Chain A
Amino acid sequence: MTLARAGKLAFAALVVAALVVGAALLFPTAVPNDLVLPDIDVGATFGDDLVDDARSYERFLYADWLLSQIALLGTLWLYSRRGTAFMRESAAGPIGTGMLLGMLGLGIVWLVLLPFRVAAHWWQREHDLSELDYLSWIFGDWTILGAQFFSICLALLVVMGLARRLGERWWLPGAAVFVGVAALFVFVAPYLDYTTKPLRDGALLSAASRYERELGLSDIPIRVEEVSEDTEQANAYAYGIGPSRRVVLWDTILDNPFSRDQSEVVLAHELAHHSQTHLPEGIAWFALFAVPGAWVLMRVTRKRGGMGAPEAVPLALLTVAVLQLALAPAANLVSRRMEAEADWKALQVTNDPAALEELMVGLSDTSLGDPSPPGWAQLMLGTHPALADRVAMARAWAEREEGPGP
């Protein structure tokens, strides 16, 4: 074994060890490891009719998603073989041509997936879950596509620039740049928000102050996003890091059918994301995925001249899509653990498991969410624990706090 090869192996071992240690440090949550979730009678808890409606509704979306993934991979496979023909359409240098190929790849994917997204939107409208007309919807979709085009140009500028300068060693600094950009984006995103308004509800604000004290937070701005004209679905989210931390509630969560107690549980849940530093942890998890992902990308594109060559871009798009799909179960598992931890902390500060349980029923009702989706769907798509599991956690928490019932 040569010295160089030994050095490479040692470096690889070091990277793998760092990834493993990182994952081990990030994996634990505040949810007790010995917590056993009780069995839930889904029909009795959510109502048989609602469960039937939700399952019927979700079945269509699952089929739509499955077909769309097949179309996506098929399209990108074809593009990875034929996409280089579009190099004729570029008068730019290698990086500019790579950008063109990257944008065209996204454009083709957008076109191919459009029927599936239209079908999903139609299905939502059929079930009164969206009131957004098709024109506004497609305009919004087009705007998002524009942002994606710009993002892929920046990403390719970084990757191809590094690859042309560093050769095959681009993957480690490349991954670091992406993690830095992700952190910057998470930090800056709240300052770019112009669609939300401050929460004016005094009672809810005082509850927020109480929860913040208990969670060890201070002065997290609570904002409201008005979506009720477009949808009846309810949602909330936490974003930002450090001084840019925010919580945003959709106005639908502040209105019927959700009670004040349920809104407070949502608020506590989102604040818990901040108290448990889920957003910085999310960036750290992203780093754990990005480093091996970049390495795989480097290896796969090697036969096309590496990421410094525009010919590699169509193949890189396929690789990224496959990696995303392959890593979805792991990414979703991490996300579900964070959401479960936020539920747990919310239960601790609100002390109201009944409200959490009713909230889950309300969410299922307004979003037609299947309380206990099939295992494969939860594996591939479940960023949150199943609604039935969240109800089970509320009951488990109650049992721990109050002791077993009579």
Chain B
Amino acid sequence: MIDENAAVSELAESPIRLVVLDDDLGRNRLTVFLRVLLAIPHLVWLSLWGIAVSVAAFVLWLAVLIEGRAPRNVHDFVAAYVRYATHVGAYVFLAANPFPGFRGSSGYPVDVEIDPPARQSRWSGLFRLLLAVPAMLVAAWLGAGLAWAPLGGWFVFLVALAGGGVAGTAAFLVWFAALVRGRAPRGLRDLIAYALGYSAQASGYALLLTGQYPSSDPVYAEPYAELPEHPVRVVVGDETRRARLTVLFRALLAIPHLVWLTLWGIAVFFAALAAWLSALVAGRVPRPLHRFLSAYLRYSLHVYAFVTLVGRRFPGFTGRAGSHGIELELPEPERQRRWTVLLRLLLAIPALFVANVLGNMVFVVAFLGWWYALVRGRMPEGLRNLGVACLRYNAQTYAYLLLVTGEYPYAAPVLRGRPEPEAPPLPLLLYTR
């Protein structure tokens, strides 16, 4: 059983780790406004460095093939490049404020730590580019692939800027928020940092800095133990084992649920309208309506978790609380400010943007997870947890939109905090947001 909002009991070390050194969310409005233009020299330098890195990566490849280990100096050269790409990414996507240096030195507010060279399997080295394809796909969708310049990363970068990726969309919203308030919203900043951290892991793997496959588990990107409370929580009580037969036919097995979800959705439209009018008049949603909308939200989560392989079991049709391995906890009806109720649709627009890209992300998770689970009979935990984070954000967004909660969705993909030394050992693996 996995719960939210508690620290994880143990955390495996990744050879490439995201480090957010400075938690200052303040942003200079002028540099935010001109951010992409200010980044031009960095982008040019990144490209030139990328050309050199593509040669160095070939040397690393030969070294791994022959000796099973990368030479230290070449490794450091490529590692500095990955760090630098992360700095530039953080700067362009507004995850950090200071203008980065050009050498990829450590110490930038959003940084990565990369371990010294370790022994790597020659076989995985030989087929590294091929093996990296799924990770590249995830990184591309996260849209923070500046470090991919030697591997065609400019395309990824352009997609990200155009809002096609998670980081690009988040940065677009941060840009507006920072211009207005002079601060980056923390949830969005953490989401971008996560995307950068994963991209660094993936590019480090592709460029042979490490033989450890990147993990999309948000736990590796989260440097904070304390996270704001949110009344909409996801509780994961599921295992990662998957029956291959249900994996093979997963989309078809979901057909009755998708039909039912659509029919239910029609009723929800009218219920939401009634809830909106009631909340405008009374300041809160009547309990029967709240219960109906909550059941729909729970059912949606169950269905999408099943379709995308984030959840293992075929869900029930009623959205009953506690009936599925990927469970949604929702608050009781609460008083909501009338002006936020009045403008709810308008206020939800930024969250809907993020929900949309995270919704796309979860289908990438489903695509990759489908192949993996079909072969191995289980879902990779990191991929599953990324899926949970995406689904949770969607649930929070629609709970906000449907007036089940007045709390705005929180974008950080974090599921569990890092270990707290003073915490007693936990009998269960606990997740937090």
Contacts and interface: CB of A to CB of B under 8 A. Distances in A.
Contacts of B255: 146, 149-150, 153
A103 B257 CA distance: 13
Nearest to B238: A91
Contacts of A153: 255-256
A107 B252 contact: yes
Given A91-B314, A92-B316, A146 B252 contact: yes
A86 to B, nearest CB: 7
Contacts of A86: 243, 245-246
A107 B314 contact: no
B249 interface: yes
A92 B245 CA distance: 18
Given A86-B243, A104-B245, A150-B259, A92 B252 contact: no
B363 interface: no
Given A91-B323, A150-B259, A100 B314 contact: yes
Given A89-B243, A91-B323, A103 B252 contact: yes
A104 B317 contact: no
B17 interface: no
- Candidate in B245, B252, B324, B325 with the most chain A CB atoms within 10 angstroms: B252
B246 A92 contact: no
Given A99-B256, A146-B255, A153-B256, A92 B248 contact: no
Contacts of B325: 91
Contacts, number: 65
Nearest to B325: A91
Contact of A104 (B253, B256, B323, B324): B253
> Could you say which interface size class chain B belongs to?
20 to 34
B253 A100 contact: yes
B302 interface: yes
B42 interface: no
A97 B317 CA distance: 10
A146 B252 CA distance: 6
A150 B256 contact: yes
A92 B312 CA distance: 12
A110 B364 CA distance: 27
A146 B243 CA distance: 19
Nearest to A95: B317
B313 A91 contact: yes
Contacts of B249: 103-104, 107, 149
A216 interface: no
Interface in A79-93: 86, 88-93
Contact of A107 (B248, B302, B318, B323): B248
Contacts of A90: 313-314
Nearest to A154: B256
Interface string B164-207: 00000000000000000000000000000000000000000000
A108 interface: yes
B369 interface: no
Contacts of A92: 314-317, 323
Interface of A: 86, 88-93, 96-97, 99-100, 103-104, 107-108, 111, 142, 145-146, 149-150, 153
Given A100-B253, A150-B256, 6 more contacts: A89-B246, A89-B313, A91-B313, A99-B256, A107-B249, A150-B259
Closest 5 CB pairs of A and B: A92-B316, A91-B313, A153-B256, A107-B249, A90-B314
8 contacts: A89-B243, A89-B246, A89-B313, A91-B302, A92-B316, A99-B256, A149-B255, A150-B255
